[in-house]
Amino acid sequence: MIHTARPDQRSTPPTARRAARALRPALRSAGLLASLGVLVGTVLASLRFGSLPLSTATAIEAFTAFDGSTEHLIVRELRLPRTVIGLGVGAALAVAGVALQAVTRNPLASPEILGVNAGAAFAVVAAVHLLGIVSPSAYVWFAFAGAFVAMVVVFLIASAGRDGATPIKLALSGAVVTALLTSWISAILVLDERTLDQVRFWLAGSLVGRDLDAFAEIAPFLLVGLAIGGAMVRQFDTMSLGESLAAGLGQRTRAVRALTVLAVVLLAGAAVAAAGPIAFIGLAVPHAVRAVVGPSHGWLLPYAAIYGAVLLLVADVLGRIVARPSEIEVGIMTAIIGAPFLVHLVRSRRLSQL
Amino acid sequence: MTALRAGARRRTEPARLRTVRRAGPVRISFRYRPRVLVTGAFLTLVAAGLMAWTMSLGEIRIPLADVLTTSLGFGSGEHDFVVRTLRLPRTLAAFGVGVALATSGAIFQSLVGNPLVAPDIIGVTSGAGLVAVVLIVVFGTPAVVPVGAFLGALGATALLYLLTWRGGIAGYRLVLVGIAVHALLTALTTLVLVRFPIDLVSSAVLWLTGTLYATTWEQVGWLAIGLLALVPAALVLLPRLQLLELGNDTAAALGTRTQTARAGLLLVAASLAAVGVAAAGPVGFVALVVPHAARMLMGPLTSGVFVVTGLLGAVLVLGSDLIAQHAFSPVSLPVGVVTAAVGAPYFLFLLWRTNRGVS
Q: What is the pLDDT of residues A79-93, one digit of tens each?
A: 888 899 999 999 999
Kindly state the greatest CA–CA separation across chain B.
Answer: 65
End-to-end CA distance of chain A: 24
CB contact under 8 A, B114 and A5: yes
| Alpha carbon distance A326, A208 (integer Å) | 11
Q: What is the DSSP letter of A69?
A: -
d(CA B39, CA B290): 14
Residues 6+ apart with CB under 8 A from B47: B95, B311, B314, B315, B318
The pLDDT of residue B30? 60
Asked if A166 contacts A244 with a C-beta cutoff of 8 angstroms, the reply is no
Between A183 and B7, whose confidence is greater? Answer: A183
> Which chain A residues have a beta carbon less than 8 Å from that of B288?
175, 179
pLDDT greater at residue A31 or residue B354? A31
A228 min Cα distance to partner chain B (Å): 27
- Please answer whether residues B83 and B217 qualify as being in contact, where contact means their C-beta atoms are separated by less than 8 angstroms: no
Per-residue buried b or exposed e for B282-293, using 16+ beta carbons within 10 Å of the residue's own CB? bbbbbbbbbbbb
Task: Please check whether residue A351 touches B, CB under 8 A.
Answer: yes
User: Which pLDDT does position A197 carry in this prediction?
Assistant: 85
A positions 145-174 inside 8 Å of B (CB): 157, 160-163, 168-169, 171-173
CB of B199 less than 8 A from some CB of A: yes
Nearest to B275 by CA among B87, B134, B119, B122: B119
CB contact under 8 A, A182 and B340: yes
Other CB atoms within 10 A of residue B6 CB? 12
| Cα pseudo-dihedral A26, A28, A32, A37, rounded to 10 | 80
Chain B, nearest residue to A204 by Cα: B190
Region B91-119: mean pLDDT is 89
Cα gap A151→A135, rounded to integer Å: 25
Give B234: exposed, middle or buried? Use CB within 10 Å, 0-12, 13-18, 19+. Answer: buried
* Number of alpha helices (DSSP H) and beta strands (DSSP E) in chain B: 15, 0
Average pLDDT of the residues in B287-295: 88
State yes or no: ipTM above 0.95.
no
Q: Confidence band (pLDDT; 50, 70, 90) for B356?
A: low
Q: How many helices (H) and strands (E) does chain A have?
A: 16, 0
Rounded Cα distance between A263 and A258, Å, is: 9
pLDDT surpasses 60 at B238? yes
Confidence bin at A165 (pLDDT 50/70/90): low
User: Which of A135, A295, A148, A123 lies closest to A208 in space, CA to CA?
Assistant: A135
Check whether A254 has a pLDDT greater than 90: no
Range in A100-104, B140-144, B250-254, B326-330 with the lowest mean pLDDT: B140-144
> What average pLDDT does the segment A33-49 reach?
89
**B186 touching A (Cβ < 8 Å):** yes
Domain B32-55+63-69+79-358 fold is ABC transporter involved in vitamin B12 uptake, BtuC (1.10.3470)
Angle at B100 between CA B278 and CA B159, to 5 degrees: 60
Instruction: Give the residue-averaged pLDDT of B236-247.
Output: 85
Beta carbons of B203 and A344 less than 8 angstroms apart: no
pLDDT at A232 over 80: yes
**Interatomic CA distance for residues B6 and B228, integer angstroms:** 29
Give the pLDDT band of residue A14 (cuts 50, 70, 90). Answer: very low
3-state secondary structure A257-277: HHHHHHHHHHHHHHHHHHHCC
Find the distance separating the first CA and the last CA of chain B, reported in whole Å: 22
Average predicted confidence (pLDDT) for chain A: 82
Contact A171 B171 (CB under 8 A): no
Say if residue B265's pLDDT is above 60: yes
Question: H-helix or E-strand containing B92?
Answer: helix B88-112
**B265 CB within 8 Å of a chain A CB:** no
Contact B115 A3 (CB under 8 A): yes
Q: CB under 8 Å, gap of 24 or more: what pairs does B248-251 form?
A: B248/A9, B248/A10, B249/A9
**Residue A278 vs residues A172, A272, B38, B209: alpha-carbon distances, Å:** 21, 7, 45, 20
A332–B347 CB contact, under 8 Å: no
Distance separating alpha carbons of residues B107 and B262, to the nearest angstrom: 10
| pLDDT level of residue A3 (50, 70, 90 thresholds) | very low
Tell me the C-alpha distance between B131 and B133, whole Å.
6
What are the structural domains, with CATH classification, of chain A? Answer: 27-35+80-347 (1.10.3470.10)
* Inter-chain CB proximity A346 and B186 less than 8 Å: no
- Cβ–Cβ gap A157/B351 under 8 Å: yes
User: Is the confidence at residue B87, as pLDDT, over 50?
Assistant: yes
Beta carbons of B180 and A349 less than 8 Å apart: no
- Tell whether A180 is within 8 A of chain B (Cβ): yes
DSSP state letter for A78: I
Please tell me which residue, B138 or B74, carries the higher pLDDT value. Answer: B138
Residues in chain B: 359
Question: pLDDT: is B129 or B347 the higher one?
Answer: B129
CA distance B326 to chain A (A): 15
Q: Could you tell me what percent of chain A has a pLDDT over 70?
A: 89
CA A101 to chain B, closest CA, distance in angstroms equals 13
pLDDT > 90: percent of chain A: 18
- Calculate what percentage of chain B has a pLDDT beyond 70: 89
Quote the DSSP letter at residue B331. Answer: S
B201–A186 C-beta distance less than 8 A:
no
Residues of B in contact with A331 (CB under 8 A): 187, 190
**From B180, B198, B356, residue closest to A197, measured CB to CB:** B198
Contact residues, chain B, for A201 at CB < 8 Å: 194
Closest residue in chain A to residue B193, using alpha carbons only:
A200
Helix residue ranges, H only, A295-329: 297-322
| pLDDT tens per residue across span B61-85 | 888 888 888 877 777 777 778 877 8
B344: nearest CB among A176, A186, A329? A176
Measure Cα distances from A193 to A54, B207, B259, B334 in Å.
39, 14, 47, 15
Distance CA B163, CA B155 (A): 12
Q: Are A275 and A206 in contact (CB under 8 A)?
A: yes
Q: Which residues of A touch B163 (CB under 8 A)?
A: 343, 347
Q: Label residue B2 by pLDDT band (50, 70, 90).
A: very low
The three-point CA angle A176-B111-B177 to 5° equals 75
Mean pLDDT in residue range B39-64: 87
Q: Hey, is the C-beta of A247 within 8 angstroms of any chain B C-beta?
A: no
Spatial separation of the C-alpha atoms in residues A204 and A136, rounded to whole Å: 13
> What's the CA gap between B17 and B36, in Å, rounded?
28
**What average pLDDT does the segment A205-222 reach?**
84
Confidence (pLDDT) at B268: 94
Q: What pLDDT sits at residue B129?
A: 92
Contacts of B252 in chain A (CB under 8 A): none
**Portion 124-153 of B in contact with A at CB < 8 A:** none
Distances (CA, A) of A276 to A128, B153, B330: 14, 28, 34
Kind plus residue range of the DSSP H or E element containing A28: helix A25-48
Q: What is the pLDDT of residue A113?
A: 75
Judged by average pLDDT, the poorest of A236-240, B90-94, B100-104 is A236-240
The per-residue pLDDT for B357 is: 53
- What is d(CA B359, CA B355) in angstroms, rounded to the nearest whole number? 6
Written as one string, the DSSP assignment of B14-79 is HHHHHHHHHH----------HHHHHHHHHHHHHHHHHHHHHHH-SSS---HHHHHHHHHT-S-STT
Whether A348 has its CB under 8 Å from any CB of chain B: the answer is no
CA-closest candidate to residue B135, choices B186, B183, B207? B207
pLDDT at A20: 46
- CA B1 to the chain's CA centroid: 28
Please determine, for residue B270, whether its predicted confidence score (pLDDT) is greater than 60. yes
Residue ranges of alpha helices (H) inside A132-242 are 136-159, 167-191, 193-203, 212-231, 233-239
Question: What is the structure's pLDDT at B15?
Answer: 40
H or E element in which residue A42 lies: helix A25-48
Quick one: pLDDT band at residue A341, thresholds 50, 70, 90? Answer: confident
Residue B52 has pLDDT above 60, yes or no: yes
Number of Cβ atoms within 10 Å of the Cβ of B172: 23
Selected residue of A100, A180, A184 to mutate for chain B interface (largest B Cβ count, 10 A)? A180
Number of A–B residue contacts, CB under 8 Å: 207
Q: What integer pLDDT is reported at residue A23 of this predicted model?
A: 62
CB of A260 closer than 8 Å to CB of A103:
yes
The pLDDT of residue B65 is 81
Q: Which of A199, A215, A205, A209 is nearest to A328 (CA)?
A: A205
The pLDDT value recorded for residue A255 is 85
Determine the residue type at B318: L
**Could you state, in order of their start, the residue ranges of all structural domains in chain B?**
32-55+63-69+79-358
Tens digit of pLDDT for each residue in A140-164?
888 888 988 998 888 888 877 666 6
Under the banding of pLDDT at 50, 70 and 90, the label for residue A50 is confident
Instruction: Return the pLDDT at B115.
Output: 72
**Which of A6, A10, A182 is most worth mutating to test chain B (most B CB atoms within 10 A of its CB)?**
A10
Residue pLDDT, tens place only, A106-135 = 766 788 878 888 899 999 999 999 988 877
Residue B228, classified by CB atoms within 10 Å of its CB into exposed (0-12), middle (13-18) or buried (19+), is exposed
* Global confidence as pTM: 0.81
Q: How far is A329 from chain B (nearest CA, A)?
A: 8
